Structure 1
Amino acid sequence: MNNVAKVAIITGASQGIGAGLVQAYRQAGFRVVASSRNIQPSDDPGVATVAGDIADPATARRIISEGLERFGRIDTLVNNAGVFTAKHFTQFNLEDWQHNIATNLAGFFHLSQAAIARMEQQGGGHLVQITTSLVDQPINGVPSVLASLTKGGLNAATRSLAIEYAGRNIRVNAVSPGIIKTPMHPVESHQALAGLHPLGRMGEVQDIVDAVLFLERSAFVTGEILHVDGGQSAGHW
């Protein structure tokens, strides 16, 4: 085990953007702690997996302890795990509310708090949140109040934490995607979803991976909400 190598935690890591991030961080020379509710063990000795509900504080503790026990440090946390519930506002029920708050906000809170505490001891680190451009530019026909409420909260927390911890060498940023081709979106919906972006296409997982790695490598960037959304956040078209 090489404790000099940096270590990244990635949540929601079993598929889509999260799986792409695990692969990219490994290629960049990081050790990775990958977590999701049903993630399977990895054959890669540089990847530790932790299965569990990110909303449970016990899962956050296990993720941090696994990273420290296996790799000896925590350098980056990518808060990728999240849910999106598309319903009109009056159709949301208590279960929808609790599920969105638990996954999108409580999961972020518990794990980020533990990770930052460790980064303070090490003298630095980096957090990246994956949010959504619907926070800045709602789309008629895509009801998104709970996404805007929770992911918008992550954008605000990103800026707040960036200022609070700038003097401790901990950077905090976010990537705000448009609609990305992941297993969440069936192929038959792709044409319609592509039309919701000024560039006329959906985003690819690699688009988001590239943005996260840009922030990872950009030591003078903190408090940034980087829109990777095919022009959605720029305005109506």
Structure 2
Amino acid sequence: MSNQQKVVIITGASQGIGAGLVKAFRDRNYRVVANSRSITPSSDPEVLTVAGDIADRAVAARIVKEAVSRFGRVDTLVNNAGIFSAKPFTGFTAQDYADNIGVNLTGFFHITQLAIAEMEKQHSGHVVSITTSLVDHAIDGVPSVLASMTKGGLNAATKSLAIEYAKRGVRVNAVAPGVIKTPMHAPETHGALAGLHPVGRMGDIADVVDAVLYLDNAAFVTGEILHVDGGQSAGH
């Protein structure tokens, strides 16, 4: 097998958007390194699974080390792992805060730092993070300050890294979705959640996957926060 075949690391890969991304990248002949706390081994020899908490630097280091050892390179990193906690601000606990910071920010920091170090060796690469449209457009009745604080940090880091690495061949972008129809949203909530979007529906996993694939192929796009939110960020 040629080491020229592209390799993508996907966090939060066991279900929902992450599982959709694994399938989409495999369909495009990428080798995939898939991580989540509960991920199980894959029968596909081109999919390497690494279980563990992305907030732990040792896990992030193992993911990148095994990607390079098994497949020889890292071309794309999709920071998909994330926690979303919708509570009134004064109802958040210290554990809620630690969990959100750990996965959404610390996890991003460790895996992105280690992946970019590998990308620099080949003078090419792409990092794309999944954030949230709520950063730009808060919604009455959806109390989500920890999501906005942590994912807003990712949006800011995306632009900063894009400029820092623009001349080194590494692009950095983000996708900011609205509410996506995944297993985390019970079917009985779908009607109310659809109403949060001007287009009148929830997003599908394919909507986010298509946005990530676009950015991965868009060689002249870096520092972009691509809203995939049914018009949420435009207004109501």
Q: TM-score range by the shorter chain?
A: over 0.9
Once residues 221 and 4 of structure 1 are traced to their aligned partners in structure 2, the CA distance between those partners, rounded to angstroms, is: 23
After superposing on structure 2, the runs of 4+ consecutive aligned residues of structure 1 that deviate more than 6 Å are: none
Residue in structure 2 matched with residue 174 of structure 1 by the alignment: 174
Whole-Å Cα distance in 2 between the matches of residues 187 and 87 of structure 1?
20
Q: Partner of 1:120 in structure 2?
A: 120
Q: Count the aligned residue pairs.
A: 236
Residues 7-27 of structure 1: per-residue CA shift (max 9 Å, x gap): 000000000000000000011
Q: Deviations over 1:37-84 (max 9, x none)?
A: 000000001100000000000000110011011100000000000000
Match of 1:99 in 2: 99
Aligned to 1:63: 63
Match for residue 14 of structure 1?
14
CA distance in 2, matches of 1:142, 1:209: 24
CA distance in 2, matches of 1:63, 1:207: 27
State how 1:1-237 maps to structure 2 within 5 Å. Answer: 1-236=1-236
Determine the C-alpha separation between the residues in 1 that align with 2:92 and 2:219: 41
Please give the alpha-carbon distance, in whole angstroms, between the structure 1 residues aligned to 2:25 and 2:58.
25
Which runs of 5 or more structure 2 residues have no equivalent in the other structure?
none
Output the TM-score relative to the length of structure 1: 0.99
What is the letter of the counterpart of residue 5 of structure 1?
Q
Q: How far 1:2 sits from its partner (Å)?
A: 2.4
Structure 1 stretches lacking a partner, 5+ long: none
Q: Distance in 2 between matches of 1:220 and 1:174?
A: 14
Q: Which amino acid aligns with 1:111?
A: I
Give deviations 1:152-207, integer Å, cap 9, x for gaps: 00000000000000010100000000000000000000000000000000000000
Residue type of the partner of 2:68? L
Percent of residue pairs bearing the same amino acid type: 70
